[in-house]
A and B are shown apart, each in its own frame.
Chain A
Amino acid sequence: MSPELLFQQALNGLSFGALLFILAAGLSLVFGMMDVVNLAHGAFYMLGAYVALTVVQFTGSFWLALAAAPVALGALGLAIEPLLLRHLRGRHLDQVLLTIGVSLVIVDQIGLIWGREVRSLPFPPGLDGTVVLIGGVYPVYRLFVIAFGVALAAVIAVIYRRTKLGMLIRAGVEDAEMLGALGVNTDRLFALTFAVGAALAGLAGVIAAPVFGLQPGMDVDALLYSLVVVVVGGLGTLGGAVAGSVLVGPVDTFGKVLFQEFALAVIFAIVALVLLFKPTGLLGRIRIAR
């Protein structure tokens, strides 16, 4: 591999990692706080992308779509938690079945509303060009994705460490029941958490759409990758989501360049290695494997 190509692939890997972070942050938060593995997370991502498609069709504004999709998905999450999920608290198998059911319904409705053919979302104006970097041309949008992921991580970190809400989140991830005994309405906190998780999935869907397009099956890909990131990085911590994304993004990108269709095996080898030597994930506190 030439140095130029190496550099380009490294940037691609980081860009993919940044996207994975946006995607996995919500899944990790919901798991950490509510002890729920939300298998509808990929469907939320997909719906975010299609909502963006429609917003762009009607208004022509990518930026409006980038704001509207998370709001729409947040509202959906805010409805699903109290109506459905809340009644299954502590019942893990039932939660798995429910969230699979929710994702099937969402994907089916997307097929009915938007059709099943491959669609694409144009790059936002101003970010559709290329720049020359170390002897090669590079798409500006991918640099934007990196910057967006880093900025989002910084914002989330500040909320986590510096605000009352962040304090509640950190405490709730550790022991939500105890938080209830201190007078915190954990029902409301859980609904809000689930809404934020869904909104982040929707946000990731919009960010990803110009690069990867919109098509059936994108929900499953997104779910798989976000599960891998969360397991590798460690469940339920912000640092874990960052570490997992920064590792999985580049590994997957280089895996695809070097091993083509065997790239997935590389990813699962990483998962196996991490779980073997660090059963909590890189930065997690909760043991995933025995």
Chain B
Amino acid sequence: MSAPALEVQDLHAYYGESHVLQGVDLVVRPGEAVALIGRNGAGKTTTISAIAGFLRPRQGTVRINGRNLTGAPAHWVARAGVALVPQGRRIFGDLSVRENLAIAGRPAANGWDEARVVELFPSLGRRLGLRGDQLSGGEQQMLAVGRALMRNPSLLLLDEPSEGLAPMLVEEVGETLVRLRATGLPLLLVEQNLGLATRVGQRVHVMNKGTIVFTGTPVELAAARDVEARYLGV
């Protein structure tokens, strides 16, 4: 059996003195879509940052396709095949849509390129010459996903792609992610939107105060009323 796309073990990370990640374990198997949910401040973005190489963990390991990349700089992680759709999108506003895609380009045979991204998001095709900061929120989100796909990744990390989007656009994001899942691309989807998370994720991790407090299928999560009430309740 091949190595997991992502394997995080006993991850601890700090902001200064504040101990934010307190032993996170999670696995994304080849071809699998995993959702990571939890309240605001639970440590989801910090987990993504530690995986992506933005933040050096103090303890624990991060393995990508079996390679130990714990504490590696962001560009090593990226070159190992990890692509990120960050929280807040972080589109380059001063670059055109076309440049935002080109700057991420990592060509692969039969892989993602500008034409295929435009096929996935036709509305971006009509905006290729616009500056990133001239796009609407929904278009920026598409561009952030398209930019990540231009990396031809072997693992896609998404941090709250539904944040700030109207319900109809959230629906579209969900459809896109289900389609990407069907291509066999491993996904780690961070979400606060439980509906989106359970629609896309084949397994769900629930995070609270820097640790994983529940792991299971969406069906198992729905049965675990206490988990929902304690960690996700509104």
Q: A residues within 8 Å of B by Cβ?
A: 167-168, 170-171, 173-175, 177-187
Contact = CB atoms under 8 A, between A and B. Distances in A.
B214 interface: no
Contacts, number: 60
Contact of B54 (A167, A181, A187): A181
Contacts of B104: 182-183
A180 B75 contact: yes
Given A168-B103, A187-B73, A180 B78 contact: yes
Contacts of B90: 175, 178
B95 A171 contact: yes
Nearest to B93: A174
Interface in B87-132: 90, 92-95, 99, 102-104, 106
Contacts of B83: 181
A162 to B, nearest CB: 11
A192 to B, nearest CB: 14
Contacts of A177: 54, 74
Interface residues of B, number: 24
Contacts of A171: 92, 94-95, 99, 103
B74 A180 contact: yes
Interface in B51-77: 52-54, 73-75, 77
B178 to A, nearest CB: 24
Given A167-B102, A182-B147, A183-B151, A175 B92 contact: yes
* CB-based closest 8 A-B pairs: A180-B74, A183-B78, A171-B92, A182-B104, A178-B90, A181-B84, A170-B94, A181-B74
A187 B53 CA distance: 13
Contacts of B53: 180-181
22 contacts: A167-B103, A168-B103, A170-B95, A171-B92, A171-B94, A171-B99, A174-B93, A174-B94, A178-B86, A180-B73, A180-B78, A181-B75, A181-B84, A181-B86, A182-B147, A183-B78, A183-B104, A183-B151, A184-B75, A185-B73, A186-B73, A186-B75
Contacts of A186: 73-75
B84 to A, nearest CB: 5
A170 B92 contact: yes
Interface of B: 52-54, 73-75, 77-79, 83-84, 86, 90, 92-95, 99, 102-104, 106, 147, 151
A182 B95 contact: no
A179 B54 CA distance: 11
A40 B57 CA distance: 33
Contacts of B99: 167, 171
A187 B72 CA distance: 13
Contact of B103 (A182, A185, A187): A182
A185 B74 CA distance: 8
B94 A183 contact: no
Contacts of A170: 92, 94-95
A110 B1 CA distance: 65
Contacts of B147: 182
Name, among A170, A179, A180, A183, the residue most crowded by chain B CB atoms within 10 Å (CB to CB): A183
A183 B99 CA distance: 15
Nearest to A180: B74
Contacts of A183: 75, 78-79, 104, 106, 151
A181 B103 contact: no
Contacts of B151: 182-183
B92 A181 contact: no
Contacts of B103: 167-168, 171, 179, 182, 184
Contacts of A175: 90, 92
Contacts of A174: 92-94
A170 B99 CA distance: 11
A31 B211 CA distance: 38
Name, among A174, A178, A184, A187, the residue most crowded by chain B CB atoms within 10 Å (CB to CB): A178
